């Protein structure tokens, strides 16, 4: 049976947005500001009229004159608790949407016949579900096609010498996560990408991941920094044969040391990007390696712990996102939980889109086992996915206390949290055994707050001291 097609692309809308994205890439600061101003007015007017939640928030504001900083900060927990009043289409209901995303066989299928839906990983302790309308999808596609690494890949794929090119995504392939849904959507909509873009699950042992990659022999791997480091180690050890043209990373913090290690191992270019479930294509790397915010369609406010804007060149306590493209699920001054630094000086590449540095989620790959039994490396996002999907526990931290000792804790003290923690202990033990990590002891504690990483977020997976990535 052929796969169900995702929501179709409106060629007129896509072409219009893509042309504007191309023009904005070379626009002046004033022209970019005018785009933001107009799009923000349209978003606020639509949200006030169609969203009962934002109808109340914006009731006493003139959307043509209100300053963004005068509006309240929105947080995932509050918005999800008012989901049916948050969205602007009354046909969308949270219970039906949750049933939809719980069915892995329906990844990239249209929700209600017209929307694309995905869930967040719950990295902040609260899962989210997000719906994309035609405009949001057209903007995401255009940003990737014009500014993202996919633009270079498509030029290579369609070039006369590159018909053998393959792209492999290494990630969680059995859930409605933003990257997985987006990639499967592209595969179904584009006959060329159906054969050239494949997904490989990182929920399997390392040797199985490497075996799948070598069997596919991709020219590009798209994955998370922690997974890229693991694959780089396999490449340097001679256990991975595949040679790459490029590595694409995103979704986690990428330190300069990790970047250099991955590039040396594969002897190829590495392209990093910044995105979130709330806005998939927030920023891209230019040819000079600077991270540019797609500020024509996204507003990021770096603020201190009292919600006040911080000066350029300084890191705030968190960052607030306003998504100018999604009108079905308005995201206005939404607390992402990341920390960024916005640079005042323009990039030497000539683009006036702001340059930012991102301090996002930074988690550790666990090395479990002993010299006698052998050690096994397990990726942090694979561990998080196993706990979330198998036990329904999102508010947790997993800390490695020794070669075979783990501490799994949650900040909640409720009876439900205790039950979820015990389920997670069982699920985690089964998952680790499937990875080859046997005899791992897992201690559980309720009511214990997690450690806060340098990004300002609670690091969900904390391992032993990280290696130097010197290659020695």
pLDDT at 121: 66
DSSP label of 177: B
Give tens-digit pLDDT for 369-391. 875 667 899 988 889 888 988 88
Burial 450-463 (b: 16+ CB within 10 A, else e): beebebbbbbbbbb
Give tens-digit pLDDT for 377-426. 998 888 988 898 888 887 889 999 999 999 999 887 888 888 989 999 99
Contact 301, 68 (CB under 8 A): yes
Q: Where are the domains of the chain?
A: 1-361, 366-462
Intrachain domains 1-361 and 366-462 with the same fold: no
pLDDT at 426: 95
Give tens-digit pLDDT for 166-224. 899 999 888 899 999 999 998 999 888 888 899 999 999 999 999 999 999 999 999 99
Does the structure show a pLDDT above 90 at 456?
no
Domain boundaries 1-361, CATH class: alpha beta
The structure's pTM equals 0.83
Contact 455, 360 (CB under 8 A): yes
Cα separations in angstroms, 164 against 157, 198, 211, 246, 386: 8, 14, 19, 15, 34
**Using CA atoms in the order 282, 286, 292, 298, what is the torsion angle rounded to 10 degrees?**
-40
Does the structure show a pLDDT above 60 at 318?
yes
Calculate ∠ Cα 13-19-23, nearest 5°.
Answer: 145
CA distance 373 to 182: 40
Does the structure show a pLDDT above 60 at 245?
yes
For 221, the token pair is 């791997």
Q: Is 260 exposed, middle or buried (0-12, 13-18, 19+ CB in 10 A)?
A: middle
Burial 401-430 (b: 16+ CB within 10 A, else e): eeebebbbbbbbeeeebeebbeebbebbbe
For 137, the token pair is 């999808």
State residue 299 phi and psi, 5-degree precision. -110, 125
Contact 49, 55 (CB under 8 A): yes
Between 272 and 2, the higher pLDDT residue:
272
Q: Does domain 366-462 have CATH number 3.30.300?
A: yes
All residues at 6 or more sequence positions from 3 whose CB lies less than 8 Å from its CB, including other chains: 108, 188
Give tens-digit pLDDT for 280-292. 999 999 988 999 9
Question: For 41, how many CA atoms within 13 A lie in the half-sphere containing its CB?
Answer: 8
Average pLDDT, the chain: 89
Q: Is 158 exposed, middle or buried (0-12, 13-18, 19+ CB in 10 A)?
A: exposed
pLDDT at 391: 87
């Amino acid at each position: 049976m052929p796969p169900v097609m995702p929501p179709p692309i409106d060629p007129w809308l896509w072409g219009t947005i893509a042309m504007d994205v191309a023009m904005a890439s070379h626009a002046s600061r004033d022209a970019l500001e005018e785009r933001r101003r107009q799009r923000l007015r349209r978003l606020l007017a639509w949200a006030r009229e169609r969203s009962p939640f934002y109808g109340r928030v914006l009731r006493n504001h003139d959307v043509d004159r209100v300053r963004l900083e005068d509006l309240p900060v929105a947080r995932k927990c509050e918005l999800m608790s008012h989901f049916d009043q948050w969205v602007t289409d009354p046909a969308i209901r949270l219970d039906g949407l949750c049933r939809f995303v719980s069915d892995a066989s329906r990844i990239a299928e249209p929700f209600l016949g017209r929307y694309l839906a995905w869930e967040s990983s719950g990295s902040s302790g609260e899962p989210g579900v997000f719906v994309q309308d035609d405009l949001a999808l057209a903007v995401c596609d255009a940003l990737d096609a014009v500014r993202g690494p996919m633009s270079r890949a498509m030029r290579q794929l369609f070039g006369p010498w590159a018909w053998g090119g393959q792209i492999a995504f290494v990630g969680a392939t059995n859930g409605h996560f933003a990257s997985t849904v987006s990639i499967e959507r592209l595969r179904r909509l584009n006959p060329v990408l159906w054969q050239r873009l494949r997904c490989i699950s990182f929920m399997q042992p390392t040797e199985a991941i490497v075996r799948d990659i070598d069997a596919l022999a991709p020219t590009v791997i798209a994955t998370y920094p922690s997974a890229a480091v693991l694959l780089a180690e396999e490449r340097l050890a001679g256990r991975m044969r595949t040679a790459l043209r490029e590595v694409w990373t995103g979704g986690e913090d990428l330190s300069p040391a990790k970047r250099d290690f991955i590039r040396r191992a594969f002897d190829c270019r590495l392209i990093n990007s910044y995105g979130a479930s709330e806005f998939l294509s927030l920023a891209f790397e230019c040819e000079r390696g600077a991270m540019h915010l797609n500020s024509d369609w996204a507003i990021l406010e770096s603020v201190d712990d009292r919600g006040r804007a911080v000066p350029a060149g300084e890191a705030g306590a968190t960052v607030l996102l306003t998504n100018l493209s999604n009108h079905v699920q308005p995201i206005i001054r939404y607390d992402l939980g990341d920390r960024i630094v916005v640079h005042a000086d323009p990039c030497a590449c000539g683009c006036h889109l702001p340059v930012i540095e991102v301090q996002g989620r930074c988690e550790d790959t666990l090395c479990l086992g002993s010299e006698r039994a052998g050690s096994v490396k397990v990726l942090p996002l694979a561990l998080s996915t196993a706990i979330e999907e198998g036990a329904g526990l999102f508010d947790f931290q997993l800390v490695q206390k020794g070669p075979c000792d783990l501490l799994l804790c949650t900040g909640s003290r409720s009876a439900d949290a205790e039950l979820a923690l015990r389920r997670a202990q069982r699920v985690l033990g089964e998952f680790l055994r499937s990875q080859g990590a046997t005899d791992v002891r897992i201690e559980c504690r309720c009511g214990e707050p997690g450690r806060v990483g340098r990004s300002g977020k609670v690091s969900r997976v904390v391992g032993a001291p990280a290696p130097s990535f010197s290659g020695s």
